[in-house]
Amino acid sequence: MGRHGRMPLEAVMTALPRVVAPTESLANARKLMDDNGIRHLPVAVDGRLRGMVREHDLAFVENRPGVDPATTPVSEAMTANVYAVAPDCPLGEVFGTMADHRYDAVVVVDEDDVVGIVTTVDAMNVLAQLLGANTANLAPSQVRERILADHRRLLALLDQIDAVARRVLDGDEPAEPRLRQWAKDLYGFLRAHLHLENEILVPALVNARGFGRERAESLRQEHREQEAVFERVLGRLARGAAPLATELKELARSLRDDIAREEREFLAPDLLEDDVIHANSIGA
Ligand SMILES: [Fe+2]
Ligand SMILES: [Fe+2]
């Protein structure tokens, strides 16, 4: 797998996933899944991993006679033995284990704390990238979905950076190496994100009715500037933890603003609408 095989798990995980308590009801777990479009929920107590519940585990218990999902706790449906690994675990190793044991998800833990989740869908995304999946044929609405999903992951990473930065500013010394690591991870993720937008969003906007090539291309220039800003921050990574924490919080804030503005200006549903001809050719 080469480069990707050594890529750490945290580069592809969903950071800070939704979790559910073992005492919570099946109905609540079901709602969490439906609301967030997910099929796996790590089960945690005070952030510490206790198990996992999948959509089909819920369905299995819900359908048993005499079970009331509103009062039956998640502990009745969860699996206590979960495949869990550290964020720096190499992707190749993790995917190998998932394949060998037919696991459909791995929970990423720092000590015992749930920090992420990687499912087979994430593995498919890595594979698609590796195989150079033809993104040129994506319909505008698919482009939009892909970018919005990437934004959600990016926002979760920013939350994580904020939390660690706050701890550093509160004088928590052990958090300092973590902050530097998160900064590097954020950079890796951001670069991949900007690349994805240049590859699929800019062309979709060029084709969008009444949007204009020039305006679409201006997005590339913005991305170059964003990357340059981040590189300057990373270049100063070795300095004191407190100034770094302050700078990262500031950076996280401006990235959040960028994302919000981008979603307003470039990702409006009516802008990236599929026309009938395109939809038909996709279905063919
Ligand atoms: Fe962007
Ligand atoms: Fe973006």
Confirm whether pTM is higher than 0.75: no
**How far does the centroid of ligand 1 lie from the alpha carbon of residue 198, in Å?**
8
Report pLDDT for 186. 84
The answer to whether 157 and 10 are in contact (CB under 8 A) is: no
Say which residue, 276 or 275, is predicted with more confidence. Answer: 275
The pLDDT value recorded for residue 149 is 87
**Residue with the larger pLDDT of the pair 237 and 11:** 237
Confidence band of 278 (pLDDT split at 50, 70, 90): very low
On the question of pLDDT at 195 being above 60, the answer is yes
Q: How much is the mean pLDDT over the chain?
A: 86
Least distant ligand from the CA of 218? 1
Structure tokens of 160?
């994580």
Tell me the pLDDT tens digit for each residue of 31-40. 999 988 889 9
Instruction: Compute the distance from residue 266 Cα to the ligand 2 centre, in Å.
Output: 9
pLDDT of amino acid 217:
87
Distance from residue 134's CA to the centre of ligand 1 (Å): 20
Q: Cα(136) to centroid of ligand 2, in Å?
A: 18
- Burial grade of 71 (CB within 10 A; 0-12, 13-18, 19 or more): exposed
State the distance from the centre of ligand 2 to the C-alpha of 142, rounded, in angstroms: 15
Instruction: State the virtual CA torsion across 213, 192, 37, 203 in degrees, nearest 10.
Output: 20
H helices present in 82-212, as ranges = 91-101, 120-130, 140-169, 175-196, 202-207
CA of 222 to the centre of ligand 1 (A): 7
The CA distance from 135 to 146, in Å, is 10
CA of 190 to the centre of ligand 1 (A): 9
CA 192 to centroid of ligand 1, rounded, Å: 11
Pairing of strands 84-85, 105-110: parallel
Ligand 2 center from residue 169 Cα (angstroms)? 28
- What tens digit of pLDDT does each residue of 44-77 get? 999 899 999 999 999 999 999 999 999 999 999 9
Cβ < 5 A residues, ion ligand 2: 262
pLDDT at position 284: 40
- Distance (Å) from CA 191 to ligand 1 centroid: 10
Q: According to the model, what pLDDT value does residue 51 have?
A: 96
Q: What is the mean pLDDT of residues 255-265?
A: 93
The pLDDT of residue 9 is: 78
Give the Å distance between the CA of 223 and the centre of ligand 1.
6
Q: How far is the CA of 29 from the centre of ligand 1 (A)?
A: 33
The alpha carbon of 181 and the centre of ligand 1 are apart by a number of angstroms equal to 23
Q: Give the Å distance between the CA of 7 and the centre of ligand 1.
A: 23
Q: Residue 231 Cα, ligand 2 centroid: separation in angstroms?
A: 17
Report CA 30 to chain centroid distance, whole Å.
21
Q: Which ligand is nearest to the CA of 158?
A: 2
From the CA of 216, the nearest ligand is 1
Structure-token match 């819900």, residue found: 62
pLDDT at 276: 53
